[in-house]
Chain A
Amino acid sequence: AQKVTQAQTEISVVEKEDVTLDCVYETRDTTYYLFWYKQPPSGELVFLIRRNSFDEQNEISGRYSWNFQKSTSSFNFTITASQVVDSAVYFCALSRGEGGSEKLVFGKGTKLTVNP
């Protein structure tokens, strides 16, 4: 069975602070995908990033970066120099890698509030 745990329920920071969102996953699959989605107060779910289980290279994209470590089953997401518009619920999600058309299993989400 697959499981995603986001231990941080809510985080509050002041604008321009860096913030890291934690995600720990469980899966028996050898091939899988990990994702981060953002859900702003307006309600839509916005895809942010995806990592493949066989690619542990960590990357930076603008103000976003992520740290994928298979040894600890973690896929953490960092926002640098946070902005008020980053305020949202962030979901970490996992899917099986077989076929590529598999359902997403979400964590409970972390609500990020960025104060001016």
Chain B
Amino acid sequence: AAGVIQSPRHLIKEKRETATLKCYPIPRHDTVYWYQQGPGQDPQFLISFYEKMQSDKGSIPDRFSAQQFSDYHSELNMSSLELGDSALYFCASSQGTSGVPEQYFGPGTRLTVT
């Protein structure tokens, strides 16, 4: 079965640089979510999109922005990177409005800011 695809899997950036993370949800899933997981921590919700419209927003810094495109893939743009942005970034998708709320996660992008 198709899974959520994320790219790149690993990314190393320097402080103040920008980064773009990409996510391709499972086909026919209507909602995409982004989560940030710091070392030894639980995943924290950043933002979600339902049918290409932003549906919810969590603790996402103003330096971050995201969007979902017409082909349903999503991108998380991160600017003015800080050391504290080093984390594992997950994208997930679900078919919630069809009564299947469980979210399936991609393998994650490990971002290291030096």
Q: How large, as a class, is the contact surface on chain A?
A: 20 to 34
Beta-carbon contact of B105 and A100 below 8 Å: no
Mask, B76-114, CB within 8 Å of A = 1, is 000000000000101010101111111111111010000
Contact of B103 among A43, A47, A109 (CB under 8 A): A47
Do most interface residues of chain B lie in helix, strand or loop, or is the interface mixed? strand
A-B contact count (CB 8 A): 68
Known contacts A101-B94, A103-B48; is-contact A35 B42 (Cβ 8 Å): no
Q: List, in ascending order, chain B residues with CB within 8 A of A84's CB.
A: none
Beta-carbon contact of B105 and A45 below 8 Å: yes
Beta-carbon contact of A50 and B45 below 8 Å: no
Mask, A72-114, CB within 8 Å of B = 1, is 0000000000000000000100010101111111111100000
Beta-carbon contact of B104 and A100 below 8 Å: no
> 19 new A-B pairs (CB below 8 Å) besides A101-B31, A103-B45?
A37-B105, A43-B108, A44-B107, A45-B90, A45-B92, A45-B108, A46-B105, A47-B102, A47-B105, A100-B96, A100-B98, A100-B100, A100-B101, A103-B56, A104-B33, A104-B45, A104-B92, A104-B103, A107-B42
Residues on A lying within 8 angstroms of B by beta carbon are: 33, 35, 37, 43-47, 50, 91, 95, 97, 99-109
Would you list 30 pairs from A and B whose C-beta atoms are within 8 A, ordered by A residue?
A33-B101, A43-B110, A44-B107, A45-B90, A45-B105, A47-B102, A50-B102, A91-B43, A97-B101, A99-B96, A100-B94, A100-B96, A100-B97, A100-B98, A100-B101, A101-B31, A101-B48, A101-B55, A101-B94, A101-B96, A102-B56, A103-B45, A103-B56, A103-B58, A104-B35, A104-B43, A104-B45, A104-B92, A106-B42, A109-B42
